[in-house]
Amino acid sequence: MVATCLLQGGCLRVDFNLLVPVEPAVGAMEQLSFDVTLFSADSANLSAHLSRGKLRQGVLAWVAAQGADAIGLDVVTRNQRFRAPIGAFWSSPAQLAAKSMLVEIKTSRAACWPDHVRSENLLPELRSLKRDRQTLLAEIRDAEPHLRCSQSLFEEFAEWNYEKSDNPAYQQLSEDIRRVQTAIYRGTRFERLAAGTMAHKLYLAVPEGAVHPDELADGWGLLWVHEDQSVTCVADATHHTCPQDDVNRFAVAIAKSAKACVLFATGIDEAHACRIVQPPRRRRKPQ
C-alpha cells in the first residue's frame, strides 16, 4: 500500500494505492485507488496572522467589487446589542434597498464559537451529516425530478424544493442536522444576527482555511481571506426572505454608520461639538 498526503486549504487529502489479488488468476494483482479528505482544525489557519483590520479591508474590497451601492461598518442591527462588522445594500429603480448583505468577521477558528471545546466535539458530527446530505440530495434529484422548481438551463443553477421530498432518510437527516446546529449555535452572535431579518444574505469571513463550509449553520455563506487579502467565496449564502421594512431600516443604519467615517475623513470632530480639526494625512504614493 502506498499513501500520499497533501494539505490543501486546511484539508488533508490522503490518496491510497492498494494492490489486491484478483481471481481466478494466481498471482494476478489489481490496483485500487481511493482518497479520503479530512479537515484539520490545527492546520487550518493558513492566514491566521492577518489582523482584524486586514481581514476587514479584504472583505470591504470584495463587497465593493460585487457592486454594492452603499457599505457601512459596525452597523446597528435589529438587536441594538449586536452590530454587523460590515453591512451593504444594493438599490434598484423600484426599491431603495432591493438586496442587503451582512458580513461577520472572525480572526480565528476559536473566535467563532464561545464554547470552543464543546463545539469542537460537535463540529465533526455536523460535517459528517452534511456530507451524507449531499449524497441524499443527489438521489432525490434522480428519484423525484418533480421537486425541481426552476427552469434553469444549467443544472448547477437549478433550484429544488427538497423539503417536500418523500425520502424518509432525508427527513431524518435534516432533523439530525437541525439538532446539532442548535447545540452549536444557540445563543451565539450567528443566531442573533440571523434572527434580525434585515439582511438577505449572511456571510462569515475568516482567514483562509479556518472554518470548513460544512461547519456553518445552514444559510450562511463563507468567505476565506487569503494572505494577500484577496477573498474567495467558498460557500455562497442562501437568499433569505426579509420584510422590506426591516431591510429599509438596515439601509438607514448603514447610512448612519458611514457618517462617522465621512466626518473623520474630512476633519470634523463630532465628539467635541463638531469642531473642525486637521483631516488625516494621506500617504504619498510611491513614485
Bridging pattern class, strands 99-105 and 83-90: antiparallel
Q: How confident is the model at residue 45 (pLDDT cuts 50, 70, 90)?
A: very low
Bridging pattern class, strands 201-207 and 99-105: parallel
Segment 171-224, tens digit of pLDDT: 999 999 999 999 999 989 999 999 888 999 999 999 999 999 999 999 999 999
Segment 97-136, tens digit of pLDDT: 999 999 999 999 989 987 766 788 899 999 999 999 999 9
**Residue 78: predicted pLDDT:** 83
Residue of 14, 71, 62, 5 lying closest to 37 (CA atoms):
14
- Average pLDDT of the chain to the nearest whole number: 83
Query: pTM of this prediction?
Result: 0.78
